[in-house]
Amino acid sequence: MSIVVTGATGHLGRHVVAQLLEKVPADQVTAVVRDRDRAADLAARGVRLAVADYNSPATFDGLFAAGDRVLLISGNEFDKGRVQQHRVVIDAAKAAGVALLAYTSAPSSLTAALADDHRATEEVLVGSGVPYVLLRNGWYHENYTEQLAPVLEHGAVVQAAGEGRVSSAARADYAAAAVAVLTGEGHENTAYELGGDEAWSFAEYAAELSRQTGKEIAYRPVSVEDYVGILTGAGLPEPLAAVFAGVDAAIAKGELVVSTGDLSRLAGRPATPLAEAIRAALKA
């Protein structure tokens, strides 16, 4: 039996593998990667590597074994048919007879286009007969704290989210929830709605940035259409810009407020506060 993590060299995947190694021997962890060289550090720690690509179904043949516990981290190639990519993994897991397949989805409250692939993947997984866990991850702090340079340069947080609030948390928090499911018992055929302990607004985000930097950072709300223009002007393809702007529109409607407490319960600790994430990003 192995705990298998797909997308293991991605931002979330690396957190999951690192936290797994705190709980189980390295030879019980398999990291699924597309580029073996990018995972050299994981191999050096004793993690088993498997090279496979969501876009090449044959690469998953024989990758899983009966009794494995699998974390399917959703793909980020929006233009390559993510549902079919995920189906490749689910089909391989079913054929192998894995004990559990956990999937990183999106909150059920999110109706933006970003959630469409997640809802469709959930249908495939639930209908497959494979014991599943739906990890419906909310937004990440890092979606904002890793983009601080233009905010600090222009002295403004620009979003199309109005007065909406976000229950974001750190990637490490969501990884802790995934690890709890992969190493624990009694999670089969369950959906968890995951988000931070406290929701915040972008006006509050700007105020916290001002407090920590000593600079005046304002929140400047814009329309969804204007935000698409800003994102495309920054180099994002228009379809992807529309997806991200759609998330802001969903935030304005309260769709990324998650108040279940599932994340901190699974992680066994409070979720990382936004202020702490900002502090860490500014130090970096």
Question: pLDDT tens across 42-75, in order?
Answer: 999 999 999 999 999 999 999 999 999 999 999 8
What are the E-state strand segments in the chain?
A: 3-5, 29-33, 48-51, 69-72, 100-105, 132-137, 156-159, 165-166, 190-194, 200-201, 218-221
pLDDT at 35: 94
Whether residue 174 is predicted with pLDDT greater than 70 in this model: the reply is yes
Whether residue 268 is predicted with pLDDT greater than 80 in this model: the reply is yes
Residue 35: phi, psi to the nearest 5?
A: -125, 110
Whether residue 252 is predicted with pLDDT greater than 90 in this model: the reply is yes
H or E segment at 14?
A: helix 11-20
pLDDT digits (tens, 9 = 90+) for 4-50: 999 999 999 999 999 999 999 999 999 999 999 999 999 999 999 99
pLDDT at 96: 98
- Report, as an integer, the average pLDDT of 215-222: 97
- The angle subtended at Cα 3 by Cα 178 and Cα 128, nearest 5°, is 80
- Report, as an integer, the average pLDDT of 142-170: 97
- Report, as an integer, the average pLDDT of 155-178: 98
pLDDT at 80: 67
Under 8 Å between Cβ of 161 and 252: yes
pLDDT at 77: 75
pLDDT at 81: 85
Return the minimum-mean-pLDDT range out of 79-93, 129-143, 248-262: 79-93
pLDDT at 171: 98
d(CA 196, CA 139): 9
Position with higher pLDDT, 172 vs 75: 172
- Report, as an integer, the average pLDDT of 130-136: 98
Arithmetic mean of pLDDT over the chain: 96
Whether residue 79 is predicted with pLDDT greater than 90 in this model: the reply is no
At 284, the pLDDT band (50, 70, 90 cuts) reads confident
User: Which residues partner with 4 through β-bridges?
Assistant: 30, 70
What is the percent of the chain with per-residue pLDDT over 70, rounded to a whole number?
99
At 233, the pLDDT band (50, 70, 90 cuts) reads very high
pLDDT at 76: 78
At 245, the pLDDT band (50, 70, 90 cuts) reads very high
Put residue 84 in one of left, alpha, beta given phi > 0 → left and psi -120 to 50 → alpha. Answer: alpha
Side-chain-side CA neighbours of residue 88 (13 Å): 20
